[in-house]
Amino acid sequence: MVEFNKISGNVWNIPKSGKMLVPATIYASERLMDTIKQDKTLEQARNVACLKGIQKSAYVMPDAHQGYGFPIGGVAAFDPDEGIISPGGVGYDINCSVRLLKTNLSVEEFMKKRHDLIEALFVNVPSGVGRGGKTRVDRNVIMEVLSKGAQWAVEEGFGRKDDYLRTEENGKMSADPHAVSDRAISRGLPQLGSLGAGNHFLEIQKIDQIYDEKIAKAFGLQDKDNVTVMIHCGSRGLGHQVASDYIKEMEDKYGFKDLPDRELINAPINSDLGQRYYRAMGAGANFAFANKQMITHWVREVFEKIYGSVEIDVVYDVCHNIAKMEKHKIDGKLKQVCVHRKGATRSFGPGREEIPDVYRSVGQPVIIPGSMGTASFVLVGTKTAEEITFGSTAHGAGRVSSRSAALQNISGEHVKNELAKKGIEIKATSWKSIAEEAPEVYKDIDEVVRVSHEVGIGNLVVRVVPLSVMKG
């Protein structure tokens, strides 16, 4: 049992004790905390607070749940000289991320041919387990992808420069493809340009509520009549293998006897191994950026085929599973730290140089996908987040029950019918893939973003609701 205190309405704290180097801070409402405290989230946050070089506090976002090693919805920053970097603090799906597109297609026009559209998307955007992309590439090409990310895809004709300029890191992290094993590359080769399966999806939505008109306008999301498109996917098997490879190598080098959880294995950031992992992780992130860039291109082609000329622009693309070197204020001084976000979104306020020019005066768009069939949200990053969470907020709804429970209690047909009643069409590879992502197994996304807004770590801008969903 982990001891914790309530600090204020949405703020909780695990005081420093035992081997903890810093306290842990949880941002959650009473209701969210009721579920968070039931699994191992708090214990895992306490473990993170014991890792070498951790700064200020281990942070837990409102959508948090138990992960492996670090909790999902966990944020931790480490000193670049004394601190560590941990593959388990990033997650297996390196740069699992979300891109939001806006269109000039009206909801009314969309609805006329929406069935044709979802069928065509299903054919043109590869998805599902063990199913790869439609573009066959060789190893030399993959090395380019791993170096250049979304920029490689645009050079190859998949989309335009504006797309990656509105992507975190301009769609390209600093990376070394040679730090990625042959085995990881073999897993990535057939999967470039594919959505994957599980919780990954492609969704057509409409804006149904605007909370902040000025910022909605700055994000180009002021028009309730037009549909938006959300793409959620990651680095597929390539990223998973990078994580596994470095977990093994770090175990061999540093051992895991003193760790409360083998998944907390880490290396000093400034060690050769730590640096190699960082650059391999960057390569995995670039694979994910390229992936979404290619999917964006196919989405444009499919919309054009079905509806004729449609303008489709990237709003923004945010990472959920990543470690980054960033400058943050600690004890009044700006300091470079390695921020791990595992199931958390960067939420930088106005003025940060990392934000694209077009958004710099208001703060970055923060895209929070809901679960299948529920609303998703766009928030705006804040200065408060920079002060109290190393510029981070939640990343989604967060699960409350397991997929096995979902499969026992919920049928895919039932979920499809319930969604149909709400006017949502869904196409998936199987009934089971619908059942296991049923809205019932996730936390209440409205509650998650409300807490983010109230705490001020990501403020509400618009809510979008699904019209059509494609799942792997």
Partner 1 sequence: MFCYAPINYINLMPQTENMAEKYKFLQHTADAKFQAFGKTLGEAFANAALAMFAVMFDPADVKPKIEREIKTEGKDEKALLYNWLEELLYLLDTEGFLLSRVKKITIKGKVLEAVVAGDLVANGYKTHGDVKAVTYNEMDIKKEKDKVIAQVVVDI
Positions marked active-site: 395
Contact map string, positions 193 to 222, toward partner 1, x by CB under 8 A: ---xxxxx----------------------
Among 187, 190, 166, which Cα is nearest to 296's? 166
Report yes or no: 424 and 94 within 8 Å, Cβ to Cβ. no
Identify residues 20-49 at the interface with partner 1 (CB under 8 A): 39
| Dist. CA 289–CA 136, nearest whole Å | 17
Q: Which is nearer to partner 1, 67 or 363 (CB)?
A: 67
Q: Strand, helix or coil at 38? A: coil
Q: Which is nearer to partner 1, 23 or 89 (CB)?
A: 89
Q: According to the binding rule CB under 8 A, does residue 409 interact with partner 1?
A: no
Q: According to the binding rule CB under 8 A, does residue 149 interact with partner 1?
A: no
* Residue partners of 299: CB distance under 8 A and separation at least 6: 101, 121, 125, 202, 229, 231, 312
Q: Phi/psi of residue 51, each to 5°?
A: -75, 145
Q: According to the binding rule CB under 8 A, does residue 66 interact with partner 1?
A: yes
Contact map string, positions 97 to 126, toward partner 1, x by CB under 8 A: ------------------------------
| Residue with the two structure tokens 């070498």 | 52
Q: According to the binding rule CB under 8 A, does residue 411 interact with partner 1?
A: no
**What is each CA distance from 430 to 126, 206, 470, 471, in whole angstroms?**
15, 25, 11, 9
Q: According to the binding rule CB under 8 A, does residue 247 interact with partner 1?
A: yes
Q: Phi/psi of residue 111, each to 5°?
A: -65, -30
Q: Which is nearer to partner 1, 233 or 312 (CB)?
A: 233
Q: Which is nearer to partner 1, 241 or 452 (CB)?
A: 241
Token digits for 188?
């990535």
The dihedral region occupied by 349, where left means phi > 0, alpha psi between -120 and 50, and beta the remainder, is beta
| Dist. CA 225–CA 408, nearest whole Å | 39
Q: According to the binding rule CB under 8 A, does residue 243 interact with partner 1?
A: yes
Q: According to the binding rule CB under 8 A, does residue 186 interact with partner 1?
A: yes
Q: According to the binding rule CB under 8 A, does residue 262 interact with partner 1?
A: yes
Q: According to the binding rule CB under 8 A, does residue 232 interact with partner 1?
A: no
- Positions touching partner 1 (CB under 8 A) are 39, 65-69, 72, 91-93, 128-132, 183, 186-187, 189-191, 196-200, 236-237, 240-241, 243-244, 247-248, 251-252, 261-263, 399-405, 428-433, 435-436, 472
